[in-house]
Amino acid sequence: MRKIKFILQKEFIQVFRNKTMLPMIFGVPIIQLVVLVHAATLEMKSIDMYVVDKDLSSLSHKLINKFEGSPFYNISGVSFSIDEANETIEKNRADFVMHIPYGFERDLIRENVTQVQLLIDGINGTAASLINAYSISVISDFNRNIIVDLTKMPDIKDLNPIAVETSYWYNPELNYKTYMLPGILVILVTIISMFLAAMNIVREKEIGTIEQLNVTPIKKFEFIIGKLVPFLIIALFELAFGLVIGKVFFHIPIVGSLWLLFGFTTVYLLTVLGIGLFISTISSTQQQVMFISFFFMLVFILMSGIFTPTESMPVWAQKVNIINPFYYFMRVIRMILLKGSEFRDISHEFFSLLIYATIMLSLSVWRYRKVA
Amino acid sequence: MENHENIIEVRNLVKKFGSFIANDNLTFNVKRGEIFGFLGANGAGKTTAIKILSGLSFPTSGEVKVAGFDVYKEREKVKKNIGYMSQKFSLYEDLTVRENIRFYGGIYGLSNKYIKEKTESLLERLKMNDIQNSLISSLPLGWKQKIAFSVAIFHNPKIVFLDEPTGGVDPVTRRDFWEMIYETSDSGITVFVTTHYMDEAEYCDRVSIMDQGRIEGLDTPEELKKQFEAKNMDEVFIKIARKQ
């Protein structure tokens, strides 16, 4: 055990003496959290719309006014020509076109049915479906109002007997930042711990000092623990630091127990550090480590549910997520912070990761060879 | 039966990398307390052999005992009893002289008190008191080599393996270095050293000369010179390398 103390001491001296490490530890979280949380938003604020109004009736004006009145839309132009409208989409000057055909008002009054066409730029599928959903809700709201106007029936409420009232639990205003910040924290903590640990061992291989260590009677587990603990501590510190930033700048709610969060994070970090150490035992250069961990990071992050709910992924993808450490932590950090989940709520994730950590750490101890 | 005079016993050591034979049937002993020179051209298999002896690599076949322990079964015991200074540079560049010594002392399980006292006397002997808190990266190569050697014998091993310790070092520092090797030998530590410099071979008690994975000559420098009818070790070496 005393030997571990000497390794820890050495690692910490090296970390704090390294001129790029301190800026990494403090700078990266600030930049990532402040920039990414603001930037990675799914809210649509200014949708550029182009209107082709061939009807020029009072009803079509009302519909256009309805859009104009919404804070989300920004009318970039109006014309009679559908060709001109298409061109604005092609030139990226509009996100979508609303085409009100000739006879819009007449058809509605005579036949009770009329049509509007929406042409949406589908380059970004997510944005397109959001524009579609927003616009449909604006149009159906308009629809309800004209029914009232046309029928002049005061008890029109009966036409809409089921009133849907939505309330969003745990994030009542659907604040995107509240949702994104914990997710970005997960990535941050993971990258710092996994990368640094893997790079550290491989650097010793490259320089040749590992040979000097391998010729000493140091035990494999002592070596692994000595390499693991410094980065565990740094990553836990990163989490605390990130939470402070979140609380101060973004006012994210911290509903659950911080002890539980840090306890869970420790088990999570043992898993990712285990993966990092394992990668370092099978690589001989820092370049190899970079490529291997980049590959896994990218796949794991995109599948983790940071942007898209894992439940809507195909079944095979959900199966793959069993070995995705991000997946567990992404769920749990949001559950604890936003929902105030307790240990019994996250025990499944906790024990899964505990098994995972045990496997990865055993693998790296087993795979680590005291040879040159 | 264990021979107490021999600290290293090698019988029919073979090391293959695929079809390449790096060590071809080596058999030799190293006596307790001697300075054993391990010579050979580049690629003759010296480093391979030294790695096997220090437990960094497994032999393909043969019997190897170091400090009385089998390198197959008792590698960790072997490691406790040896020091090793590799061809590659083995100190941490971003740690100071003192921190390096302390770290290696610590992982050999030495007590704080021992580390402290021995560090003081070591710095005194190397005349490095002034630079004890300088980073290794700021020191000239010769100084680094001396520190690396001191670190390799810091835990008082029975044997120390030096793999080309004087490569790239100026003649004065090389002389200093050999002084240190003699001091080490006098204190009872067996020294196993590989080198390219034939003048250094003359400083050894016994010398083995390897060529293409085989030991072609093994004796005292005097005997080798007689045996090969050579004026100096240089000639011995060339005769062996050209013989084939």
What are the beta bridge partners of residue A97? A50, A119
- From A346, A321, A329, A179, select the one nearest A265 (Cα to Cα): A329
User: What pLDDT sits at residue B190?
Assistant: 95
ipTM of the complex: 0.86
A35-44, A216-225, B174-183 — which is least confidently predicted?
A35-44
Residue B153 identity: I
d(CA A79, CA B36): 96
Which residue among A209, A219, A371 sits closest to B92, beta carbon to beta carbon? Answer: A209
User: What pLDDT sits at residue A123?
Assistant: 85
d(CA B108, CA A216): 7
Q: Collect all residues of chain B within an 8 Å Cβ-Cβ radius of residue A371.
A: 51, 56-58
| Closest CA of chain A from B58, distance in Å | 9
Would residue B112 count as lying in a domain? Answer: no
Would residue B239 count as lying in a domain? Answer: yes
Which residue among A13, A215, A218 sits closest to B84, beta carbon to beta carbon? Answer: A215
Would residue B127 count as lying in a domain? Answer: no
Domain positions in chain A: 2-40+173-367, 47-159
Q: Which residue of A has its CA nearest to B107?
A: A3
User: What pLDDT sits at residue B2?
Assistant: 46
User: What pLDDT sits at residue B1?
Assistant: 38
**Touching check for A207 and chain B: CB below 8 Å?**
yes
For residues B211-238, average pLDDT: 88
Which residues, including other chains, have CB under 8 Å from residue A196's CB and lie 6 or more apart? A231, A234, A276
Confidence band, pLDDT 50/70/90 cuts, at residue B241: confident
Say if the Cβ atoms of A208 and B89 lie within 8 Å.
Answer: yes
Would residue B51 count as lying in a domain? Answer: yes
Task: List strand residue ranges (DSSP E) for chain A, in order.
Answer: 47-53, 73-79, 96-100, 117-120
Say if the Cβ atoms of B95 and A14 lie within 8 Å.
Answer: yes
d(CA A273, CA A252): 27
Confidence band, pLDDT 50/70/90 cuts, at residue B103: very high
Which residue among B77, B99, B109 sits closest to A3, beta carbon to beta carbon? Answer: B109
Confidence band, pLDDT 50/70/90 cuts, at residue A114: confident
The boundaries of the domain holding residue B232 are 6-81+157-243
Say if the Cβ atoms of A209 and B90 lie within 8 Å.
Answer: yes
C-beta neighbour count of A190 within 10 angstroms = 27
| Closest CA of chain B from A210, distance in Å | 8
For A120-145, the pLDDT digits (tens) are 988 888 788 888 888 888 888 888 77
For A300-356, the pLDDT digits (tens) are 998 988 877 888 888 898 888 999 999 999 999 999 998 899 999 999 999 999 999
User: What pLDDT sits at residue B85?
Assistant: 92
CB B214 within 8 A of CB B199: no
| A277, pLDDT greater than 60 | yes
Confidence band, pLDDT 50/70/90 cuts, at residue B244: low
User: What pLDDT sits at residue A264?
Assistant: 96
| A166, pLDDT greater than 80 | no
| B11, pLDDT greater than 50 | yes
User: What pLDDT sits at residue B114?
Assistant: 94
d(CA B93, CA A225): 23
Would residue B106 count as lying in a domain? Answer: no
User: What pLDDT sits at residue A71?
Assistant: 83
User: What pLDDT sits at residue A306?
Assistant: 83
| A274, pLDDT greater than 90 | yes
**Domain containing B52 — which CATH number?**
3.40.50.300
Residue A64 identity: I
Would residue B68 count as lying in a domain? Answer: yes
- Rank A96-100, A268-272, B192-196 by mean pLDDT and report only the highest: A268-272
* Tokens standing for residue B64: 């190897």
Residue A136 C-beta-side C-alpha neighbours within 13 Å: 7
- From A296, A268, A267, select the one nearest A195 (Cα to Cα): A296
Q: Which residue has the tokens 């437990």?
A: B55
For B164-207, the pLDDT digits (tens) are 888 888 888 889 999 999 999 999 999 999 988 888 888 999 99
Confidence band, pLDDT 50/70/90 cuts, at residue A163: low
User: What pLDDT sits at residue A155?
Assistant: 54
d(CA B88, CA B56): 14
Per the structure, how many domains does chain B have? Answer: 1
Across the beta sheet with A96-100, what order do the strands follow? A73-79, A47-53, A96-100, A117-120
**How far from B220 is each of B121, B183, B205, B209, CA to CA, in Å?**
34, 20, 6, 11
For B44-78, the pLDDT digits (tens) are 888 899 999 998 888 999 999 999 999 888 888 89
Higher pLDDT, A38 or A372: A38
* Tokens standing for residue B41: 């051209």
The SS3 call for residue B170 is coil
For A176-219, the pLDDT digits (tens) are 778 888 998 999 899 888 888 888 889 998 888 988 898 998 88
Handedness of CA A306, A312, A313, A318 (dihedral sign): positive
Q: What is the 8-class DSSP label of residue A372?
A: -
Would residue B145 count as lying in a domain? Answer: no
| A159, pLDDT greater than 80 | no
* DSSP string over A25-82: HHHHHHHIIIIIHHHS------EEEEEEESS--HHHHHHHHHHHTSTTEEEEEEES-H
User: What pLDDT sits at residue A41?
Assistant: 66
Say if the Cβ atoms of B104 and A372 lie within 8 Å.
Answer: no
Mutate to test the interface with A, among B102, B107, B137, B158 (most CBs of A within 10 A): B107
Would residue B100 count as lying in a domain? Answer: no
For residues A149-167, average pLDDT: 59
Average pLDDT, chain A: 86
- Look up the CATH number of domain A47-159: 3.40.1710.10
